[in-house]
Amino acid sequence: MLVRQAAWTCTLLAQIVAVVALPAIRLSGLSPSSGLWEKGASIVNGGEWMVKQVNDNPALLPDYSLEILWQDGGCDSLVGQRALYANWFRKPYHLLNGSTVSGIKTVGLIGPDCSPTSLAQAALAYYVRMPMISASSTFPSLSDRSQYPGFWRTIVPDSRLVEAFVATVRSFGFNEVAVIAGAEIAASFLPKLLETVDKFDVELHGPSMFLGPTANGWLLRQDSAEEGAREIVEELVAVRPSPPRFVILLLKEGRSARAVLCAAFHRGLSSQITFMTFGWLAPLLWWRDLPPGYHCTEQDMEVAVNKTISTQAVQKRSDLGTRLSCSASATAADFFADMGDAVEEAASSADVVCTYAKMLHEIIYTHGNTLAELEDSSDDIYSQAQQILEATDFEGTQGRMQFLPGLPDPNGAVEIQQIQISNFNTQLQKTLLARYAAGAFSWLGVEMWLPDGKLAVASGPSLVNSTHFDFVATDPLLEFVTCNYSTTFDLTSNSCKPCPLEQIYNSTLDRCLCRPDVQQEGISACDCAPGMFMSLVHCVWESRRQSCYFSCAQCQPGEFTNSAGATTCSQCQAGSFADINGSSSCKTCHDQAFSSQGGAEACERCDGLFMRVNQAHSSCSLSGMLFAAVAGAGVLLGLSISEALTKFRLQRSEGLWSLSSEPHVVDNIETDDLQTVVTFPWHHGWKNRGRKSFPIIFAGTGHHILDSSRPFHAQVSGTRTLRLFERDGSVLPTSFQSSMGSATLPFGHALLHAGWPFPLIVQMPLMLVIAASLMLISEPHFDESAVALAITLFVVILQLTLKCKNRRHHRRRLDKAIEDFCKKLGHGDGSIAVDPGPGRAIMLKKLLGFVQHFADFTRDRNMYYVEPNIVRQLTAPYKTSLAEFLGASRLNWFVSHWWGNNFQDTMNALKQHAICGKTAEDWSGVSYWICTFSNNQHKLKEEIPGRLEDSSFFKALHSGFCDGVCMILDEHAEPLTRSWCLFEFLQTVQLSEKMKDFQGLVFCHTSGVLDYGTASVAVALGICKRLSNMRLEDASASSQSDKEMIDALVIDQLGSFANFDSKLRKEIIEAMDAAKLAYEREFQALAPAEANSGPGSSQESL
């Protein structure tokens, strides 16, 4: 089951990663997979491990994917130079996996791998403005900023190892040292050596090396190592008054070191001189694979290498629990567990990648540079990168990563180690003695061996036998102590102590042994086995000699002896017990048992909910930590379960089950200024992560495009709002208006974009892992049934709370407005049903009340919004028309309109018509038949059956109660471009010919009625001009079959569309004539008033 779940999780993560593909930022990497020094695998593994952490950390480069193009540097300056020249000028990359890529730009270099390559390429990298950070180049000369201004490294340089050599010698109390340096590297190493010996006031032995006035010592050429080593050792033997106590070997390869140590062995210097070497120069190289006939055997080399002191950069931090800064969650312990034994250079390589990631984050997100600008690497970009690198400060795999002021070197520590072999023919073992950093030592308090047999220990008692510590400087070493005969050295007190009772010191074995029995009878203490003690029976004097008689007695329960020769038994400490006679050790109290006093024969049980023993099992008390752990586990489990229940749902579509996010209620969707904004009644809880947008699916909005199940792309613009656009980021081509429906995210994107402060894909497993960890911490000291009950109650209460919050906060504003409108009308059991036809009109005063109540929602919207969002929702409980819902009346006028007209303009036009009309004394009592409101939108197939004569339109128009038809026009006369409006116009023409009192077609506008002359002159002329040029046969319908049916009806009844157009023009002429007469009457009424308002009348009025 767990395997299947793990496989499912991996597949899901792979799909999510595939969906969220990001542009790549590439680094070039040189790693030695060939040549003399093959650390390539370690460098690549460490670097790739950190690349994964960077790409999984949303706080570093969330919009990009970091990649490294690894190539073979060969630890050879020519090989590395050819690779870099090819990359920077021709762009082919011959990768370690055997493939070749070209046309790719990189923004930085990891490497080169070895110091000679770095020396050769650092100047070129600076010239082409390519940042360069090495994980393994250690030559001291690379620290010279005047020669290598753009070089950086994350590994401690060899100059720091040289300083540690001299500092170690000085801490032992000596002020003289000799140096044997490799001729090939002397020029690079000696400047730092001379600076250090001068700093610590240490004198260099030996002849002049002609590399400076105080550069004394010996040069050793690699090509003549054996012969040169013998000559140098002979000169060391001749040093008077005695050979130097310490000799530093500044040698970079094993053959030369082996030659010096072998020559020193043959001349007997191995017992007089402590040699000091670089720690990365593996000791095994000094004797492994000896050439045939070599003048030292393997055992000779073991003697020669014993007690050698070495220095090595610290590449594994001691506080392994520290979270790495470039990772979202991994610690240093995770890194070293994944690396296994391949630690060297893997850690410094990982820190190189993190250094680059931190720099790229600053240069992109803080300085606002683009990837293209980074790849072009201008002087300005390069300068920014160098300034950011100078300020580097993060927690890395080796420790806190900072560069020394004015230097390219990290502020790292050095380990002081010694090879200590107690039994030959065994594996060589390095013993860690101390760490050195910033001019101070931190000694671990372990034995150090010197050639004369003296022992030295650190004076810091808190560090004795310590294996894990943070770096703190300790006091100087105590004086070396040599123990005399019959005494042994005690490491903890740095003193000599006598042997115990009945034991003597054996100098050969260097330990205390039982001495021969001097009693005439009885036993020796050494004969008493562990668990027994030597009990004195009696003593007698015989021949002037006292003879004592002893016997072995068993220790009582609660006591023990753990070694032979004990004279008394010791009590078991609190937290342990001994339940039998003759115990050689005490047993620790297990599980929920404790013993509060010493000498216990048995442990007591610590019972009770949330009662727990302490770590030493010496007391039993109420555990606040256990209570907190159980409560915390319950809370986190409840949160994770509730998160899954409230954020996701299982749905079935087309026979398939799938997961998606829980639908979010939509409050409003509106397109304004070419921007579509979705508003929710409460916080949607989504975040812009990874990619800048995410797919979103709508349902129930009443808009056929939004409800088409195709995903739109959204971007969070506020806690309650989203912006919609096409997948490519372009503006949506269609205007959307809705105040209902819901929105969901596909499952994979919901995991990524939902959740705070982390994505759900991280948050939910993290809560489960922490909860499980808390349970494991407290197990088995808790009552599982009580915890299960607490978790169940918590989940239930949390769910009820969330549901109440959903009901309170996830309610649409429109739903509240509809509820308030129903309360205002006093609707209870429903509406009075009315048959389709003339009886389903609405009085204008009721219509205006409806408009006023929903004015905040209708605003600049049209009937395409009003019908699904308001009309259909308002009448949904009763399945009636709006006219029946408001209280229907018999029609006075039929309204012909286009649903795309502004709704408020349509209502204002009807109000203008009612005021100007002569159909009723009270204009608010005029009843209008409007298809949107008079048709039952829930039963349109019944309202508009197959035959037009059976439709509600036809019944209303031909009822005999209709006074005329109000056609609502805008400046573009859009209704007459719609086929259904043509149908209504056709019916109007027929009714005008049949019915004498029928007033025909009246053109209405929000500014007034054209036929009554109340519309503005400009509007009237504009509409008439538009109508005069209109061809009715060009009208369209949402359904092509509707258009064809209406077109056929026009031709059948009028013969042609030309006749239909002439009918329209006749109506236009009549409307213009009526308007003209109205305007003339107003003008004539105004003219006499103007004539009587001249100067005379004004004077007369005075």
**pLDDT per residue as tens digits for the range 47-65:** 999 999 999 999 999 999 9
Q: Is the pLDDT of residue 133 over 90?
A: yes
User: What pLDDT was estimated at residue 881?
Assistant: 92
The pTM for the full model equals 0.46
**DSSP calls for 778-812:** HTTSS-HHHHHHHHHHHHHHHHHHHHHHHHHHS--
CA atoms of 363 and 135, how far apart (whole Å): 22
Most confident of 496-510, 549-563, 626-640, 651-665: 549-563
Are residues 841 and 962 located together in one domain of the fold?
yes
Strand-pairing partners, residue 733, are: none
CA atoms of 257 and 890, how far apart (whole Å): 115
pLDDT, greater one: 808 or 158: 158
User: What pLDDT was estimated at residue 890?
Assistant: 93
13 is a domain residue: no
Are residues 194 and 291 located together in one domain of the fold?
yes
509 is a domain residue: no
Q: Is the pLDDT of residue 8 over 60?
A: no
CA atoms of 765 and 771, how far apart (whole Å): 10
513 is a domain residue: no
pLDDT, greater one: 629 or 744: 744
| Total structural domains within the chain | 5
619 is a domain residue: no
Among the listed residues 353, 366, 371, the one whose alpha carbon sits nearest the alpha carbon of residue 24:
371
Are residues 212 and 290 located together in one domain of the fold?
yes
User: What pLDDT was estimated at residue 658?
Assistant: 67
Among the listed residues 305, 274, 265, 243, the one whose alpha carbon sits nearest the alpha carbon of residue 451:
274
In this structure, are residues 396 and 379 in contact, taking their beta carbons and an 8 Å threshold?
Answer: no
User: What pLDDT was estimated at residue 132?
Assistant: 94
Q: Is the pLDDT of residue 596 over 60?
A: yes
Are residues 149 and 191 located together in one domain of the fold?
no
Q: Is the pLDDT of residue 342 over 70?
A: no
What percent of the chain stands above pLDDT 90?
23
List, for residues 893-916, the tens digit of each pLDDT value. Answer: 999 988 888 999 999 999 988 888
Q: Is the pLDDT of residue 955 over 70?
A: yes
User: What pLDDT was estimated at residue 92?
Assistant: 81
User: What pLDDT was estimated at residue 993?
Assistant: 81
In this prediction, residues 856-866 reach a mean pLDDT of 90
**DSSP calls for 395-461:** E-SSSEEEBPTTSSSB---EEEEEE--SSTTS---EEEEEEEETTEEEE----EE-TTS-EE--S-G
420 is a domain residue: yes
User: What pLDDT was estimated at residue 354?
Assistant: 97
**DSSP calls for 211-232:** SSTT-BSEEE-GGGHHHHHHHH
Most confident of 381-390, 442-451, 692-701: 381-390
961: tokens are 């109660």
621 is a domain residue: no
List, for residues 525-540, the tens digit of each pLDDT value. Answer: 456 788 888 776 655 5
User: What pLDDT was estimated at residue 463?
Assistant: 33
Query: What single letter denotes the amino acid at residue 697?
Result: I
- pLDDT band at residue 329 under the 50/70/90 scheme: very high
Contacts of residue 332, Cβ cutoff 8 Å, sequence gap at least 6: 316, 317, 319, 320, 321, 322, 324, 397
- pLDDT band at residue 852 under the 50/70/90 scheme: very high
Q: Is the pLDDT of residue 325 over 90?
A: yes
Contacts of residue 155, Cβ cutoff 8 Å, sequence gap at least 6: 134, 135, 136, 137, 138, 313, 315, 345, 348, 410, 412
Query: What single letter denotes the amino acid at residue 995?
Result: M
Q: Is the pLDDT of residue 1100 over 50?
A: no
User: What pLDDT was estimated at residue 799?
Assistant: 65
Q: Residue 487 burial by CB count (10 A; 0-12/13-18/19+): exposed, middle or buried? A: middle
In this structure, are residues 73 and 38 in contact, taking their beta carbons and an 8 Å threshold?
Answer: no
CA atoms of 104 and 114, how far apart (whole Å): 25
In this prediction, residues 958-962 reach a mean pLDDT of 89
pLDDT, greater one: 247 or 500: 247
Among positive and negative, which fits the CA dihedral 527, 528, 533, 537?
A: negative
In this prediction, residues 538-551 reach a mean pLDDT of 55
Are residues 771 and 733 located together in one domain of the fold?
yes
List, for residues 14-51, the tens digit of each pLDDT value. Answer: 433 433 478 999 999 988 877 666 667 888 999 999 99
In this structure, are residues 27 and 64 in contact, taking their beta carbons and an 8 Å threshold?
Answer: no
Are residues 440 and 298 located together in one domain of the fold?
yes
Domain end marker among 476, 499, 531: 476
Bond into 476 cis (ω within 30): no
User: What pLDDT was estimated at residue 476?
Assistant: 59
In this prediction, residues 313-321 reach a mean pLDDT of 86
CA atoms of 877 and 1016, how far apart (whole Å): 43
Residue 483: alpha-carbon gap to chain centroid: 60
Are residues 305 and 427 located together in one domain of the fold?
yes
Contacts of residue 1059, Cβ cutoff 8 Å, sequence gap at least 6: none
User: What pLDDT was estimated at residue 5?
Assistant: 38
Residue 457: CATH number of its domain: 3.40.50.2300
List the domain range (segments joined by +) for residue 308. Answer: 158-313+411-476
Pairing of strands 274-278, 246-250: parallel
List, for residues 730-775, the tens digit of each pLDDT value. Answer: 888 888 899 999 888 887 788 788 777 777 777 777 777 776 666 6
What percent of the chain stands above pLDDT 70?
77
CA atoms of 110 and 155, how far apart (whole Å): 13
CA atoms of 195 and 1031, how far apart (whole Å): 101
**DSSP calls for 314-342:** --S-S-TTSBPTTSSS-BHHHHHHHHTT-
User: What pLDDT was estimated at residue 1?
Assistant: 37
Are residues 946 and 1061 located together in one domain of the fold?
yes
CA atoms of 985 and 24, how far apart (whole Å): 64
Write b or e for each residue in 302-311: b if 16 or more Cβ atoms lie within 10 A of its Cβ, otherwise e: bbbbbbbbbb
List, for residues 190-222, the tens digit of each pLDDT value. Answer: 888 888 888 888 988 888 876 666 788 899 988
List, for residues 260-291, the tens digit of each pLDDT value. Answer: 989 998 888 887 888 888 876 654 455 566 77
Residue 1097: alpha-carbon gap to chain centroid: 88
Are residues 382 and 307 located together in one domain of the fold?
no
- pLDDT band at residue 323 under the 50/70/90 scheme: very high
User: What pLDDT was estimated at residue 4?
Assistant: 38
Are residues 908 and 992 located together in one domain of the fold?
yes
Cβ atoms within 10 Å, residue 21: 10
Domain end marker among 449, 476, 503: 476
Residue 553: CATH number of its domain: 2.10.50.10
User: What pLDDT was estimated at residue 513?
Assistant: 54
- pLDDT band at residue 494 under the 50/70/90 scheme: low
pLDDT, greater one: 343 or 49: 49
- pLDDT band at residue 73 under the 50/70/90 scheme: confident
749: tokens are 């994107």
Q: 724: helix, coil or strand? A: strand
Map tokens 């918590």 to a residue: 794
User: What pLDDT was estimated at residue 99?
Assistant: 87
Contacts of residue 722, Cβ cutoff 8 Å, sequence gap at least 6: 677, 678, 684, 686, 696, 714, 715, 716, 743
In this prediction, residues 9-18 reach a mean pLDDT of 40
**What's phi and psi for 25, nearest 5 deg?**
-105, 120
496 is a domain residue: no
List, for residues 109-125, the tens digit of each pLDDT value. Answer: 998 878 888 888 888 88
Are residues 664 and 793 located together in one domain of the fold?
yes
List, for residues 834-851, the tens digit of each pLDDT value. Answer: 989 899 999 989 999 999
List, for residues 654-681, the tens digit of each pLDDT value. Answer: 566 667 777 889 999 998 877 899 999 8
687 is a domain residue: yes
User: What pLDDT was estimated at residue 110?
Assistant: 92
Are residues 657 and 739 located together in one domain of the fold?
yes
- pLDDT band at residue 1102 under the 50/70/90 scheme: very low
- pLDDT band at residue 869 under the 50/70/90 scheme: very high
- pLDDT band at residue 1019 under the 50/70/90 scheme: confident
Q: Is the pLDDT of residue 508 over 80?
A: no
- pLDDT band at residue 704 under the 50/70/90 scheme: confident
Mean pLDDT for all residues in the chain: 79
* Stretch among 24-38, 187-201, 603-617, 784-798 having the lowest mean pLDDT: 784-798
